[in-house]
DNA sequence: GGGACTGTACCGTCCAGCCGGTATAGTTGT
DNA sequence: ACAACTATACCGGCTGGACGGTACAGTCCC
């Protein structure tokens, strides 16, 4: 049995993915976590705190994968850019995980201007800085990131219109960009 | 005095942009449109219908601009791709209008899986088909679109971390891609 | 026995949608 | 020409349900 706090976050995540933002109801989350509403509120003082926790954990996981993949890459310049690409989307151009759908839910709950969105903004700024200093042409790195974000966006909107072949080709092209160009 | 229906949509849009999804309250929208709540519900039977109307009008405007710009382009192949780029983002890489923020609000209200999101999915599919048959390399066209979507995403999340210079360079690079490559 | 933790009953608020109106402009019958 | 009737547009009070948060009474473990 995992830590209660994590169990609650898992439950919130599960409901967000299965029912959408509307399903993010404290009582329902508590039920899914096999806990009472009071117990939930003991751990997260408010709904906002809960969603912020969700956001934080997601960003942390993203950062860890980025770090691992960057270190594992031995093809010289562009390592971080490739890691970003791999962390965001699969080889078929599909989103790598549920982060986009989670993000959509978090966004819908917290709203664009919540103080907790600052985390997200900081994370993006951090990644952008690393991409810019990745040893490859900065504009190229930016383009690769934008395209990756674009694919991620499709998932956020529930679009998956890129067929596997086109996705693979697009990904290959992006990947090639990170290898052939330099600063 | 514009058509009442349009006035309501304008009011909803204004509130969505100024107050976020939370500000999308029927009474408030009615007040902003200088109409009663009952009057609003006469034109839009439900909140969902209202938001769907918002979505529809937005897509229509987008389509119209796309069409206009495509026809005005006389640089041969890639006209639609360039139009897509220009309709989505400005020369500095900023989102061209408020559509992304509107979209975020619509998404938050309707949820990812609403039946009305089908419109949006169809629109994307339509645009994708046009891009694929734009006379330039299909993968290139896809990359350009993805990057444009990525910039659009930044606005949706409230990120604007790309400084004007970097934005301009990225845009120029994208634009060049639509001119130098062919099928 | 005390603190960490859990369960439950309840409160207040917010808000979508309903419904019984009103006003005005057309239409029809005589 | 005018009364009776209908359709369209709009009004605003009300209600019922949903949901976030609180209060408080346990319970379990050290």
pLDDT tens for B140-164 read: 999 999 999 998 888 777 776 778 8
| Options 3.30.40, 1.10.357, 3.30.1330, 1.10.10; CATH of B52-180 | 1.10.357
Cβ of A170 under 8 Å from any chain B Cβ? yes
Cβ of B121 under 8 Å from any chain A Cβ? yes
Which of A163, A20, A174 is closest to A92 using CA atoms?
A163
Report how far apart the first and last C-alpha atoms of chain A are (Å, whole number).
50
State the nearest Cα–Cα gap between B100 and chain A, in angstroms.
11
- Report pLDDT for B14: 92
C-alpha A170/C-alpha A151 separation (Å) is 10
Over residues B100-135, the pLDDT tens digits come to 888 888 888 887 777 788 888 889 889 999 998 999
C-alpha A160/C-alpha A168 separation (Å) is 13
C-alpha B158/C-alpha A120 separation (Å) is 10
Cα-Cα-Cα-Cα torsion A136, A137, A138, A139, nearest 10 degrees, comes to -140
Cβ of B157 under 8 Å from any chain A Cβ? yes
Is residue B183 predicted with pLDDT exceeding 80? no
**Mean predicted lDDT score pLDDT of chain A:** 87
Whole-number distance in Å between B6 CA and D1 C1': 39
As to burial, measured by CB atoms within 10 angstroms (0-12 exposed, 13-18 middle, 19+ buried), residue B119 is: middle
Q: Are B145 and B128 in contact (CB under 8 A)?
A: yes
Residues listed for chain B? 183
- Report pLDDT for B181: 52
Domain boundaries, chain A: 1-45, 48-180
As to burial, measured by CB atoms within 10 angstroms (0-12 exposed, 13-18 middle, 19+ buried), residue A135 is: middle
Q: Could you say which architecture CATH assigns to the domain A48-180?
A: Orthogonal Bundle (1.10)
A18, closest residue in chain B (CA to CA): B113
Closest nucleotide to A4, Cα to C1': C5
Which of B89, B90, B101, B93 is closest to B163 using CA atoms?
B93
Over residues A53-91, the pLDDT tens digits come to 999 899 999 999 999 999 999 888 989 999 999 999 888
- Report pLDDT for A69: 94
Which residues of chain B have a CB within 8 Å of the CB of A121?
157-159, 161
Give the mean pLDDT of A35-51. Answer: 91
Closest nucleotide to B41, Cα to C1': C17
- Spell A32-66 as b/e; 16+ CB within 10 A means b: bbebeeeebeebbeebeebbbbbbebbbeebeebb
Superfamily of domain A1-45: Homeodomain-like (1.10.10.60)
Percent of chain A residues past pLDDT 90, beyond the cut: 36
Give the mean pLDDT of A19-41. Answer: 89
Q: Between B181 and A87, name the one with better pLDDT.
A: A87
Which residues of chain B have a CB within 8 Å of the CB of A20?
111-113
Is residue A183 predicted with pLDDT exceeding 70? no
- Spell B145-183 as b/e; 16+ CB within 10 A means b: bbbbbbbbbbbbbbbeebeeebbbbbbebbbebbeebee
Over residues A136-181, the pLDDT tens digits come to 999 999 999 999 998 888 877 777 677 888 889 999 999 998 887 5
- Report pLDDT for A167: 87
Over residues B48-106, the pLDDT tens digits come to 999 999 999 999 999 999 999 999 999 889 999 999 999 998 888 788 888 888 888 88
Cβ of B111 under 8 Å from any chain A Cβ? yes
Is residue A119 predicted with pLDDT exceeding 90? no
C-alpha B27/C-alpha B12 separation (Å) is 11
C-alpha B139/C-alpha A152 separation (Å) is 17
Is residue A19 predicted with pLDDT exceeding 60? yes
Which of B108, B93, B94, B90 is closest to B54 using CA atoms?
B108
State the nearest Cα–Cα gap between B3 and chain A, in angstroms.
31
Distances (CA, A) of A135 to A78, A145, A181, B180: 6, 15, 9, 25
Give the mean pLDDT of A26-39. Answer: 90
Are B152 and A153 a contacting pair at CB < 8 A?
yes
Distances (CA, A) of B90 to A63, A91, B95: 31, 30, 6
State the nearest Cα–Cα gap between A162 and chain B, in angstroms.
9
- Report pLDDT for B44: 94
Over residues B6-46, the pLDDT tens digits come to 999 999 999 998 888 888 999 999 999 999 999 999 999 99
Cβ of B89 under 8 Å from any chain A Cβ? no
């Amino acid at each position: 049995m995992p830590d209660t706090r994590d169990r609650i976050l898992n439950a919130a995540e599960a409901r967000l993915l299965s029912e959408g933002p509307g399903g993010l109801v404290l009582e329902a989350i508590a039920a899914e976590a096999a806990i009472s509403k009071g117990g939930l509120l003991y751990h997260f003082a408010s709904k906002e705190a809960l969603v912020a926790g969700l956001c934080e954990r997601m960003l942390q996981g993203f950062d860890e994968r980025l770090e691992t993949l960057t270190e594992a890459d031995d093809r010289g310049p562009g390592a971080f850019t490739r890691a970003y690409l791999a962390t965001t989307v699969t080889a078929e151009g599909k989103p790598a995980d549920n982060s986009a759908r989670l993000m959509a839910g978090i966004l819908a709950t917290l709203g664009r201007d919540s103080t907790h969105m600052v985390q997200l903004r900081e994370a993006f700024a951090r990644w952008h800085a690393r991409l810019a200093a990745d040893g490859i042409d900065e504009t190229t790195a930016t383009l690769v990131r934008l395209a990756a974000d674009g694919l991620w966006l499709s998932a956020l909107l529930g679009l998956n219109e890129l067929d596997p072949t086109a996705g693979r080709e697009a990904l290959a092209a992006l990947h090639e960009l990170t290898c052939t160009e330099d600063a």
